[in-house]
Structure 1
Amino acid sequence: MAVFEYKALTASGQTKKGLLEGDSERQIRQMLRDDGLSPVAIQSLAPQKNSEKNFFSSLLIQRIKVSDLALFTRELYTLLDASIPLNQALKSLSHQSDSKLMSRFVTGLHTSVTEGYSLAMAMQRSTYSVSQEYIAIIQAGEESGYLDKVLSRLADAIEQRDQLNKKLKTALIYPVLMVVVAIAIVLFLMVYVVPKVVSVFDNMDQALPPLTQGLLDISAFMQNYAEFLVMLVIALVLGVKWMLRQPKWRFKIHALLLKTPGIKRFLIYSETARWARTLGVLLSSGVNVKEALTISVEVMTLDPLKQSVLNMVKKVREGKSVYHSMNEEKIFPPLLLNLVKTGEGKGQLDNMLLRGAKHYESSVENAAETLVSVLEPVMIIVMGGVVLLIVLAIMMPIFEMNQMISG
């Protein structure tokens, strides 16, 4: 069976949209007519196999939002915990979703599960993208026979990650807004205000003060070469994006960020929290250590840290413990190392990783608040200094003219 999205008219002429499962478009049309509806448009949403996806279609693939995935995981766990069969639970969720994208996603999963695929395989076949570690955890839950319990832990992990991302975005809104406003104000003063105010002194025989003349030269340059400056900014943005796509340059940029005072600790803690939680959930779901480490690499966003985890995978495969592999990389925080050492000794590595993830998630929130509290006064001082220079450049000729008149 395939999934079809339909648009039909009721007997009163109202438009109705929805999703139906059937073997063909003809069958869907007959089902709509049996319900007293007149079909207007029917489109197949049948999932394609990964082998059938080409490069261009992969560019258009839609990724499920973290918040939507967290809600879906929690609701699916609730239904399965109530002893509702997976097929029936998915069908129920496909009708309850407020999001059109999620409705299509879950309906596709229901269709694949009905055809005999596992939930993990159904997600793998889906035309909508979810992370590989999520699919791996689902697969581990199905193979162990404890899918409902695995979904509960997975929902907790996703919700925690979503909350952390929202807190970080909220903390950065004010500094980013301040930067944008500051740049806009300075550009307005330099391009429009300064030339008009200082033009009053053009007829003066006396030379303008160096500060005023320099400000005028900068203003004139910005006016005469505005198009060039815009193109330069665009070129810089595109250049940085290109460099981030090149493994060699991306590694160097990420390494530089990890050495930058002020944000080094923040970046390491956020990456550590995400990695520790993912690895902890994988291990508690029954995934073996080697495979769990390999999958956990995907949640790392900074290449030097990702390389460290890949090095750990090699060392663990050679027979070393997780603790010794982490310790040799010299990049993970000491507290997490101690927790991993204790966890391996007591056979509770998953619990210790989750405990460490919780600690560093709190540390990331505190680090974000500290970073913002430091940035705000610095930005205010810098902005005040720039405005002060502009005001001095405008006022200095006025002071000199007053001295000439009084003299």
Structure 2
Amino acid sequence: MPRFRYRAADVQGHRIQGELAALNDIDLDLRLRRMGLTLIRARVSNRRNLFSAWHASRRDLISFCFHMQQISRANAPLLEGLKDLIASTENSRFRDLLALVAEDLEGGKLLSEALAAHPDVFDRVFTALVRAAETSDQIEIVFARLEARLKQQDELQAEFTRLLIYPSLAASAVFAAAGVLLFYLTPKLALLVSSLNMPIPAATRMLIAVSELARAHLIWLLPLLAIASAGLFLTMRNSPALAKRMDGVWLKVPILGTTLRKHILARVSGLLALLLQSGVGLLDALQACADSAGNRIIQNKLIATAQHIAAGEGVTNSLRQQDLFPPLVLRMVHTGEANGALAEAFENVAWFFDRDSRETITRALKLLEPGLAALLGLLLAILMLAVFLPIYQLIGELPL
């Protein structure tokens, strides 16, 4: 089915742009009218996206869960409430996706079935929870839990992003200073010292050599680096073995790997607790959490845990064999398993990893900031020494 880039107007006359799949212009017009929009003009989209055709931020999903709660609380018709949400959604791609969900609902599908048709946005955990809510008639409660969990994940993701901001800024400052030095100052310095016919210090000779090498080969080096990066990305997309190896490498990076592991386990434990509280079976919950882990190493460990449980082993012993949780967390799971309160146990595990990951991020930032500042100062000192050493040498040889 072709996709159309369209421009339309809502009932207030506001112009809206977006992209939507339709059979032809007439079908597109009908689809937009069901969304409360009037088509102005459209054309077939030739754009090919390397990533997912749809995009939804976590904030979009939080807003979706909130509106679904309100629809259920007000006992409003689901389809009418969803159309109101479509009209107020700012993200054009997410709005178009919700329009397809509304069409599936009009065609007689359940909400969970309509959402499951878009796994890039609504993952297996999300659709499993909605399916459980439909079975138990707890739409409002489940969407409230989903909203709370998504907000916690958003806060934790923001904390994790903070860990990367300062190193990125420091690295950018180093590269910027090195670029100015290598491509602007060093060539002028080379002309100066060569015209004076004086011995050049070793540090300065090395700096001039690096500058000449960079200026001579940077034209083809940067495109080669970009091609290599794109090739690695495409290879990882098509090679599960390489992608799994890279996921393992990320988990072994000092500080970052530990924080990433705790971040993933906090999210997985919280989702597992949420699924169990909503009535989803343990094996299905583990499989859904494995699909949403975001790391193939942890994903395989969760799948292996589910296989051991299916073979008749206990939850705690199955987790212990995978070396996924520390002993304290395993003791918490064992207590919940013995008392028939696994959902509460995994909720406590999620809280434990959430708090631990936040503390790790705080400690890492306290160590990284002075460490990177010292490293930046050392690099700049070496570079400035290479620049000013011949100048000081020249001044020392001047007659007084």
Fold shared by both chains (TM-score > 0.5)? yes
SS of 1:203's partner is helix
8 Å contact 2:116–2:123 — kept in the other structure? no
8 Å contact 2:160–2:361 — kept in the other structure? yes
> Residue 353 of structure 1 aligns to which amino acid in structure 2?
F
Q: 1:9 to 1:218 in 2, by over 3 A?
A: closer
8 Å contact 1:172–1:372 — kept in the other structure? no
Q: Percent identity?
A: 22
SS of 1:300's partner is coil
Instruction: State the match for 2:282 in structure 1.
Output: 289
8 Å contact 1:6–1:42 — kept in the other structure? yes
8 Å contact 1:8–1:39 — kept in the other structure? yes
Q: Which moved more, 1:93-102 or 1:386-395?
A: 93-102
Distance 2:215 2:8 in 1: 57
8 Å contact 1:343–1:351 — kept in the other structure? yes
Instruction: State the match for 2:142 in structure 1.
Output: 150
Tell me the CA shift for residue 366 of structure 1.
2.4
The alignment of Structure 1 onto Structure 2 pairs a total of residues equal to 388
Is 1:138–2:135 an aligned residue pair? no
Q: 1:229 to 1:29 in 2, by over 3 A?
A: closer
The gaps in structure 2 that reach 5 residues or longer are none
Distance 1:182 1:88 in 2: 55
Alignment deviations for residues 98-122 of structure 1 (CA, whole Å, 9 cap, x no partner): 4333433333323322322100111
Tell me the CA shift for residue 149 of structure 1.
1.5
Instruction: State the match for 2:346 in structure 1.
Output: 353
Distance 1:16 1:330 in 2: 51
> Residue 228 of structure 1 aligns to which amino acid in structure 2?
W
Instruction: State the match for 1:88 in structure 2.
Output: 80
Instruction: State the match for 2:151 in structure 1.
Output: 159
Is 1:244–2:241 an aligned residue pair? no
Tell me the CA shift for residue 188 of structure 1.
1.1
- Structure 1 length normalisation: TM-score? 0.83
Distance 2:206 2:261 in 1: 43
Alignment deviations for residues 279-305 of structure 1 (CA, whole Å, 9 cap, x no partner): 111111111111111111112222221
Aligned ranges 1:244-263 → 2 under 5 Å = 244-245=236-237, 246-263=239-256
SS of 1:273's partner is helix
Out of 242, 261, 269, the position equivalent to 2:262 is: 269
8 Å contact 2:204–2:386 — kept in the other structure? yes
The gaps in structure 1 that reach 5 residues or longer are 45-55
Distance 1:396 1:42 in 2: 66
Q: Which moved more, 1:227-236 or 1:69-78?
A: 227-236
Instruction: State the match for 1:51 in structure 2.
Output: none
8 Å contact 1:108–1:126 — kept in the other structure? no
Instruction: State the match for 1:335 in structure 2.
Output: 328
Tell me the CA shift for residue 238 of structure 1.
3.0
Q: 1:29 to 1:232 in 2, by over 3 A?
A: closer
> Residue 350 of structure 1 aligns to which amino acid in structure 2?
A
Q: 1:226 to 1:303 in 2, by over 3 A?
A: same
Alignment deviations for residues 55-100 of structure 1 (CA, whole Å, 9 cap, x no partner): x899552032211011111221122023323233323323333433
Distance 2:228 2:29 in 1: 54
Distance 1:388 1:303 in 2: 42
Distance 2:63 2:317 in 1: 37
Aligned ranges 1:3-402 → 2 under 5 Å = 40-41=40-41, 61-125=53-117, 129-242=121-234, 244-245=236-237, 246-402=239-395
Alignment deviations for residues 28-53 of structure 1 (CA, whole Å, 9 cap, x no partner): 979999xxx99644799xxxxxxxxx
Q: 1:357 to 1:385 in 2, by over 3 A?
A: same
